[in-house]
Structure formats: C-alpha cells, structure tokens
Amino acid sequence: MNFNHKNLLEFFDSSQKTFIIPVYQRAYAWEQKEWKTFLEDIVEQVEGDNNYFFGNILLETIKKGIQYEIIDGQQRLTTLTIFMRSLFIVLSERVKEGEHLSFSIEEKERIFLKDGGNKKLRPVTYDMACYDTLIMDGKSNFETSSASQKRIKAARTFFIKELQERPTSLLISILEKLEATEITSIELVGKKDAALMFELQNNRGKDLTNMERLKSYFMYQMYVFSKPEETETNIEHVSDIFTHIYAIINDIRRLNEDSILIYHCNAYIKGYAYRTIDDIKEVFKKSKNKVEWIMEFIEELHTSFSNMKKMEGSSDKHLKNLHKVKIPVFVYAFLIKGYKYLGDNEAKLSRLFHLMEILVFRYNLMNSRADIIARLNEILLSFNGDIEALKISLKNKLNETWYWGDTRTKNTLDEWMYENSVLNYLLWRYEAQIQKKGYVVGTMKLEEEQIEHISPQVPPNGEAIASGYEVDANNNYTDEFKRDYLNSLGNLMLISGSHNASIGNRPFKKKLSSYRENPLLNQQAEIKNFASGTLDNPIWDTKAIDKRHEAIVMFAVNEWSFDNV
C-alpha cells in the first residue's frame, strides 16, 4: 500500500497514465446539487486565496505508473474531467473572440483529458461512447440513452453555462488553483487490499449507495472468511457479479438500485420487516458457511435485477394496468418472487400481474390508514409461485380484515368518489369496456384531462343552477343530493379541460348535445341512454344518476374481483 501526495497536475501529467473506473462500480451519479457545490468550493478557494484539497483517491495498481483502477473517488474524478472540458471550451471561445492566454489549451487537454490516443480517464463501459464524444473529444452533441449519460451531458452544459458568466481572469485562476490542488492517492496491489481498504473507507461515512456499501462489505467478508488460496478468486467473483448488476442498473428506468435491493430483501430477508443492510449482515452472521451464503445471495440478487429489467420490457396488459394504477412499494417483492418461481411462463406471470393490479386498485381506492403490509407479510413469505394459492390467500385475507374486502370495495364505490385517487383510472377502464368504435383506449389521451360533474357543482357567486337538473322549489340541490349524488360515480365523467370549461353550468340539454358531438369517448355519448325525460326535454335527475352509477359500479366490482382472475 503506497500513499502518494501530489497536486492534480502531477497526478495527471504523464502521457501514458490512465485511470479506469471498473465495470462493477456504479455509473456517473452526481447531479446539479453536487456540480454546484464542486464549482462553489473552487471559486471560494480562489477568491479566499486558500489551499484547496481534492481529497483521497483509492486506486488499485494494474501497471505501475501506467494503469490504475479507481476503487474510490470515481465521481470526483469524472466531475473534474467534465469540468476541465467545460473550462477549455469556454476559454477557447474567449480566444476566438480575440483574448490572449499565456498557455496552450491543447497542452492542458493533453495533461488532463487525452494525450494522443491515451485517454486519461476511462468510465464504465456503458458510458464510454457518451463520455468520449462529449468530454474526451469535446464534441457538442451526443444522443444519450441512459440516466448516467444524461448526467454527463447535463454536467457539461451546467459548467459551460456557469463559466461563461465569469471573467477570463477568474477562469485562469480556477485552472491554476486546480493544478495546484493537493490530492492523496492510495495505491493498492491486488483485490484483497482493495476489498479491505474499500470497506474501511465505507465505515468512515462515505456517501455511497447501499448497493456499494453491500458490495464492499461482501468483498471484505470474502477476504476474512475465504481459504487463503481462494481469497483472490472469491473477491473477484463478488466483483464480477456486481459488474453484471451495474450493467443492468444502467438499463432500468423505473427503479433505482437501492429500491430493488430493498424489494429483493423484502422477498428473501425478513419480509417487510427488512429495513437496512444491517438486517442482511445479521442474517449473514448467523449462516454456517459464510462464503457460500454470500455467493448464493449475490447470485440471487443478480437474478432479481435481471428480472426487473425483463419486467420493464414486458408488454403484458395487466402489467401495463398495474403501472397505470401506480405500483406501491410492497408489491415489488411479490413480483420478484414471481419471476423467480414462474420464470418465462408468460401466462402465469400475467395472472400474477392481474392479482397485484386488483390488490393495488383496492388499496388505492380505500386509502385506509390500516396497515396492509402487516396483513400481507405472511402471504409474501409463503408465496412460492402457486398463483391459485396466492389468489385464495389474498382474497381471504382482505375479506377477513374488511378494509380492502369485497364489501368495503362495493361500499366505497357507492360513496363520494370525486377526487378519489383511482377515479380517472377507473373511468378509463370503464371506457375500454364500453368502447365500440375500434379505438385502442390505452393510447387515448384527453387534453388537460379533467373530471366533469354532469349535474354541475353548485355555481359560484349565487348563480342559479341551469335547467334540466334535479333541484328543489328554490332551485337548489337538496342536502341529500349533495351528499349522495353530486360526487358519486354516476355523476362523474372524463372530459377534456377545454370541453369542461365550455359547458360549465349550461342546461343539461345543451350539455347532452355537446357530449354527442364528442367523437372520442363513448361514456359521453352514452349519457343519453341514462337520461330521464324526453328527447325534447331531457333531465339529469337522481333516477338517471342511479342508473349510470349502477352500471359503473357493477363493472368495477366485477373487474376488480379476485374471482375474475
């Protein structure tokens, strides 16, 4: 283990030196908060004429003086090179405008970015094309395809914009300050030293993701518990598995790495009682064969990440509905176990998605303060891929606890539904059921989607309710109507914002005419089938609302019944 104290100029200044971010490390993760702090710290040091300290960089020596892998410090070094490219771009603009510099920008680029064909920093593989184009080569554009690539591009844009607003004299001072900035590089030889030092670094409060903490913990435990002749191989195996996991993470859009780790541990470590990686450590410490336990855990973890990526690519209709109703965190553990036990059986996976969508719809519909997770934990822990058994367990448990059972579902649908979180979703699903015009409802959109009260809400400023609605002798809604009908399903409908604004408190006859003219939604066209009165004098009264309400509730009760799976 070697400790080297240098300034940044000395750290980078070699035509052959290359720093590589290993593929098992996470991709570029810093965002505007970190970029802003990075820049403010440098400017503050320049203006205060203080010495700036870049911090410690932990390296594994691959080839002394030539090639190093970055064990810790990759986010800072990547940000530094992005900043340098941004600084050189702005300084080059100033030169084109006629300003004179006492140094060569090209020479500085050779020191900090690229000397001939030797690139000073090599990012993880899946960021390499983006990083090389925008940072190494300084080109102006790259079509990004991942979150980390977007961050690289956004960081460059941020720094360029910030630097363009500052005078050239300050930019030169910033460059000089950075070149003189002190840095301590700790050079390790071999995976054993790297695993040991990384774990010690993590225990000193580094701002890492839980996945990174877990990786370093496992690598260190391999160092502790492996047979001497197997230590290096076992540590490399942990590194390799995390290499594959991080490659997958870069392709997952909906979930971040720590969330998937939590859901995986909900599935396999303590159920919903899992809280932090200390729970993993607790279970690990009780295991008899420590090395075998780590191997099995990380391979299972890799499988979970792989399956979450696979799920993102699924076009299953029930999964699409599950996303639309918004998946709560407690569902993912069921999905992780489902993929494990069901593999590529699309029919059974579809039934699982369907069950989860019903569960989530009821959960969101009721919005109860009761703890659903406590009720589901036993079911989750016992789930082994048997969909029929899962359906029966969910149905029985939710009915036993009442909060999300069949009776409560029906009762809630019969109550005040305006502003319920599932209302729009429910009405779109109802639309799909009644649509007769060949539209693919899943692709439909309403401009500025809103909920229309067919019998209008009480007009403001004392304005009288228009004709065609059920009112008392004083042209007001009764208390019963306002309580039981005005905000019930039978009186609510999907509509565009512009359409809603144009009809407001108009007479029902004119509203009905506007509904008929709408070519998109059948739920507007079918209002005429529920209305009371005559063609010349249609009425939207409690009888009409009851008829429409019953139709929608019957649809919903059947659609979100476990017996429907």
Residue type at position 272: Y
Rama region for 9: left / alpha / beta (φ>0; ψ in -120 to 50; rest): alpha
133 secondary structure, DSSP code = I
Bridge partners for 70 per DSSP? 59
pLDDT recorded at residue 172: 96
Cβ atoms 403, 360 nearer than 8 A = no
Q: Give the start-to-end residue ranges of the domains of the chain.
A: 2-188, 191-401, 423-562
Picking from 549, 532, 528, 553, the residue whose alpha carbon sits closest to that of residue 541 is 532
Picking from 196, 240, 243, the residue whose alpha carbon sits closest to that of residue 217 is 196
Alpha helices, DSSP H, located in 313-405: 317-324, 332-342, 346-366, 372-382, 387-401
490 secondary structure, DSSP code = G
How many angstroms separate the CA atoms of 327 and 255, rounded? 11
User: In whole angstroms, how far apart are CA 180 and each of 119, 170, 187?
Assistant: 22, 15, 21
Bridge partners for 55 per DSSP? 183
Residue type at position 17: K
pLDDT recorded at residue 505: 83
Look at residue 24 and give its three-state secondary structure. Answer: coil
Per-residue pLDDT of the chain (565 residues; tens, 9 = 90+): 677 888 999 999 877 899 999 866 778 889 999 999 999 989 988 877 666 677 788 888 889 889 998 888 889 999 999 999 999 999 999 999 999 999 999 999 999 999 988 999 999 887 899 999 999 999 999 999 888 899 999 999 999 999 999 999 999 999 999 999 888 888 877 655 665 555 555 544 345 688 888 988 898 888 889 998 998 899 889 988 988 898 898 888 889 999 999 999 999 999 999 999 999 999 999 999 999 999 999 999 999 999 999 999 999 999 999 999 999 999 999 999 999 999 989 999 999 999 999 999 999 999 888 899 999 999 999 999 999 999 999 999 999 999 999 999 999 999 999 999 999 999 999 999 988 655 555 666 788 899 999 999 988 777 889 999 999 999 999 999 999 999 999 999 999 988 988 887 899 999 999 998 876 788 998 999 999 999 899 999 999 999 999 999 999 999 999 999 9
pLDDT recorded at residue 503: 87
For 172, list phi and psi in degrees, rounded to 5.
Answer: -65, -40
Cβ atoms 181, 7 nearer than 8 A = yes
pTM, full prediction: 0.76
User: In whole angstroms, how far apart are CA 486 and each of 233, 400, 526?
Assistant: 70, 32, 19
Cβ atoms 413, 557 nearer than 8 A = yes
Residue type at position 15: S
* Structure-block tokens of residue 447: 């401009």
For 59, list phi and psi in degrees, rounded to 5.
Answer: -125, 150
**CA 288, chain centre distance (Å):** 37
Q: How big is the CA angle at 245 (ends 265 and 233), to the nearest 5 degrees?
A: 100
Picking from 516, 517, 512, the residue whose alpha carbon sits closest to that of residue 533 is 512
In three state form, how does the secondary structure of 529-554 look? HHCEECCCCEEECHHHHHHHHHHHHH
Look at residue 161 and give its three-state secondary structure. Answer: helix
| Pairing verdict, β 538-539 and 532-533 | antiparallel
Alpha-carbon dihedral 346, 349, 354, 356, rounded to 10 degrees: -160
**Rg, Å, the chain Cα set:** 31
Residue type at position 175: L
**CA 16, chain centre distance (Å):** 40
Picking from 400, 405, 564, 417, the residue whose alpha carbon sits closest to that of residue 484 is 417
pLDDT recorded at residue 219: 83
Q: Which residues of 437-465 are buried (b: 16+ CB within 10 A; e: fewer)?
A: eeeebeeeebeeebbbbbbbeeeeeeeeb
